[in-house]
Structure 1
């Protein structure tokens, strides 16, 4: 984003957003969140004291999209807490000029962030009321005596680098004195009575984030693996790394003001004191490592195709298993979410190397469920390759979804499911999903021929 000026960023903060912090909501439980309440008041006071002309809030709630961030493009911005039993409500002026400038900047630098107006939300039967993720920090700002223009950014399910890059853009669309707020809670699974089922990964996640912010080790937060975040059942990681993207261009001193975990949810409050510009920081390198030469070949094949439009030639000297023939599936994941998967049950090419090259390209650009992979995404893709063994006729009693893949056939229809997939734990689930993929209805399931196969998985 060279050539774009930074705004005078004056302060940044991380707010949790339990509604019971608000007057009239769960007053009998207020003692349980006293430390959080005091820290939120302290953080709001620090922001107000810097007299920002604009506050941008990054929230994980409200209408959100899997493939883009949005910024609210209507004014005034209204919200309240009647859904939580409180008559409290607020009206804020949206900084429309900032919203338009941010939208134009995102388009210019090809970032998936879009201004969305109230009419667009209405067409999808979505409310224009601000969500509690935005409202609770605003309530504290109002309590601290600050009233100014705001902008509300809603996260999308993007890869870490894109979240971080959008954060950088937030500080480049205005020359006003700017404060940034990330709204989000930590783990929701700290205890048996938490909103999500208890998982010890929750406390581990919260401790990792809290200690990283205390030490100013922001790269540690960015590097938390997707499976750890998922087990923690958090809603604050993407708002936080978006904020850290904004702060990457500044000298920053971070301070944890409080952390507590009542009701099984982690509430973390942190402030970020901005000391001055820090150049153009780059996103920390967390490129997935290809531990196998097979996955390295797949990544090279995708890169070659994206840059040249041509298929990579197979290496001249093929060592086992690349010199063999076998059906192969190439699976692509971005931030632990499937991004493409294409394969062949029986081999179509003279060797495994060529099979991998063809299927890797197809998974990247020809999977009809997804948009083609971009060069920017390639560095963050995790690639796995399943090399299939031969098909063995089987009965239902032979099924083993953890160890054996399954092929079903009925009247020319065919479906395949790889083994050891998340959420496929029983033979019944494996058979039902495979038949669904083949277009075989439940009433014809017993008529289908079953075949199992082994796989060798490379990642």
Structure 2
């Protein structure tokens, strides 16, 4: 049963060492993410599942103890998913966390998360809506009280200097997502166009639609904690509880 969810963006720039001299520019976003994790902890979940976008080859589950790093972004910062800090998962060597889950692991470490065991689930950015919703329902049908930490950026086409250049469809798309997250509107999230989201480089589309499948019928209330686009990329923070 899904009892709470938090939605956070996943730019590696959230990690101050990656942002370097621009670290203060995302202070408000980091603070909102910390507040969202506080809402998850207050829901007293039995387990926390972190969901984030990834390339198809990296899609799949990631057990507690999986490590990740930001070496690809020029800094020697390593993170561990879940409470098994310092230990690698049992069995054959596991792949490292994709970037979205590594950012989530960093946020959880900063929050000193101990409220529930943590596992990760990476979803392919092109996963169809129905498969996202089905995966969400399977997550919600799992044992105990489940909380989700859903990672994903909105469009990356809000300005001329944005990673995807300026696309006039980006701002309306992001505002529609913001309204859906604020209202905990699962139908609106399921109605997001995967092709439009891909064109706008909105990596959060698949994780948001997984959340929609998990939350359907739960009557959770939504709140939007943060909405900005400092680099032409939409960053949204929301909670459902």
TM-score range, shorter chain: 0.7 to 0.9
Measured after TM superposition, the shift of residue 227 of structure 1 is 4.0
Distance 1:213 1:163, change over 3 A: same
1:214-253 alignment, distance < 5 Å: 214-253=182-221
Measured after TM superposition, the shift of residue 70 of structure 1 is 2.1
- Identify which of structures 1 and 2 has the higher relative contact order when contacts are C-alpha pairs closer than 8 Å and 6+ apart: 2
SS at 1:76 equivalent: coil
Matching residue of 1:135: 102
Answer whether contact 1:188 1:264 (CA < 8 A) is retained: yes
Match 2:77 to one of 69, 85, 88: 88
- How many residues align? The count is 234
RMSD: 2.5
1:195-206 alignment, distance < 5 Å: 195-206=163-174
Answer whether contact 1:56 1:180 (CA < 8 A) is retained: yes
Answer whether contact 2:80 2:105 (CA < 8 A) is retained: no
Match 1:149 to one of 117, 121, 125: 117
SS at 2:130 equivalent: helix
Matching residue of 2:239: 271
SS at 2:4 equivalent: strand
Matching residue of 1:78: 67
- Structure 2 gaps of 5+ residues are 85-89
Matching residue of 1:41: 34
TM-score (norm 1): 0.47
Matching residue of 2:87: none
Give distance in 2, aligned partners of 1:162 and 1:79: 27
Specify the structure having the higher radius of gyration (Cα): 1
Q: Kindly provide the CA deviation profile for residues 380-439 of structure 1, in whole angstroms up to 9, marking residues without a partner as x.
A: xxxxxxxxxxxxxxxxxxxxxxxxxxxxxxxxxxxxxxxxxxxxxxxxxxxxxxxxxxxx
Matching residue of 2:180: 212
Give distance in 2, aligned partners of 1:241 and 1:28: 35
1:324-363 alignment, distance < 5 Å: none
SS at 2:220 equivalent: strand
SS at 1:252 equivalent: coil
Matching residue of 1:352: none
TM-score (norm 2): 0.86
Answer whether contact 2:186 2:213 (CA < 8 A) is retained: no
Give distance in 1, aligned partners of 2:44 and 2:21: 34
Match 1:158 to one of 115, 120, 127: 127
Matching residue of 1:191: 159
- Structure 1 gaps of 5+ residues are 1-6, 96-116, 274-459
1:417-428 alignment, distance < 5 Å: none
